[in-house]
Amino acid sequence: MKTVIEKITPIREGEAVIVSLSLSDGVHEEKCKHEIATDLFLDMGFPLSSGDGIEISQDGYEEIIDASELTSAIKKGADLIGFAQNTKKSLVLKLLHKGFSKDISVRAADYLENVGYINEREQAEELFSDLAERRLYGPSRIRNELYKKGFSEDVINVTMQTELDFDKILAERIRRTVNLSDFADKAKRQKEIASLMRYGFSVGNIKNALIILKDEQ
């Protein structure tokens, strides 16, 4: 099979190229076009200006097909990110759901992270602040929520180092949701403590928050 690059046409202000191919077995000829991100195309070693009429090997053809599939996944991934923030993990899952292979999905997510479409650290910090300051969650609940959103362990560990006074955050939660007199009754106290711990606070947080509230009285 003889494969020839007949034409390379830049599109979208040079963001990508359309590679026009001719495939011939000596009897039949087939023509096809593939869109490839410009940087991926250049990484394959093909020139942009003088590539017309170049015969390529079977390996070169397969490389073009692979780059074209990767470009499609990158475009779809960018569209998905435009609708909602995504971690790399969640984006890979969505691309798999769209029918892309695992290899292509992972590589597309890596590409989008490298060019700045995905910033897990920034997303994790925003979610951390929202969970702590608006929803009044404690550290262990926040860590669990970050994990469920698909953030990497490294990003979660760095994010959890953010300094916040969780004793004061818990004191605010108690003000809003708990009758302080319930802590005077043993049975009710145990129930409230269990509830607060489910929101991610430690026994130490609870003791300190109650001291804060007592000092306010």
Determine the average pLDDT of the residues in 183-200.
90
Question: Do 44 and 102 sit in the same domain of this protein?
Answer: yes
Question: Do 24 and 53 sit in the same domain of this protein?
Answer: yes
Question: Do 110 and 151 sit in the same domain of this protein?
Answer: no
Question: Do 7 and 110 sit in the same domain of this protein?
Answer: yes
| 42 lies in some domain | yes
Please state, in angstroms and rounded to a whole number, the distance separating the CA atoms of residues 31 and 182.
Answer: 78
Q: Which residue shows structure tokens 């991934």?
A: 77
Question: Do 153 and 191 sit in the same domain of this protein?
Answer: yes
pLDDT in tens, 114-127: 998 888 898 899 99
Minimum mean pLDDT range among 77-91, 151-165, 191-205 = 77-91
Please state, in angstroms and rounded to a whole number, the distance separating the CA atoms of residues 35 and 41.
Answer: 10
User: With b meaning 16 or more CB within 10 Å and e meaning fewer, what string describes 100-116?
Assistant: beeebbbbbbebbbeee
84 pLDDT band, cuts 50/70/90, is confident
Which segment, 41-45, 83-87, 181-185, 206-210, is predicted with the most confidence on average? Answer: 206-210
Q: Count Cβ atoms within 10 A of the Cβ of residue 51 and give its class: 0-12 exposed, 13-18 middle, 19 or more buried.
A: middle
The CB density around residue 152, as the number of other CB atoms within 10 Å, is 16
Please state, in angstroms and rounded to a whole number, the distance separating the CA atoms of residues 102 and 69.
Answer: 12
Question: Do 45 and 138 sit in the same domain of this protein?
Answer: no
pLDDT in tens, 98-117: 999 999 999 999 999 999 88
**pTM for this prediction:** 0.73
The dihedral over CA atoms of 143, 147, 149, 154, expressed in degrees to the nearest 10, equals 100
Are 34 and 54 in contact by the 8 Å Cβ rule? The answer is: no
Count of residues making up the chain = 217
Please state, in angstroms and rounded to a whole number, the distance separating the CA atoms of residues 74 and 68.
Answer: 10
Does the pLDDT of residue 137 top 90, yes or no? yes
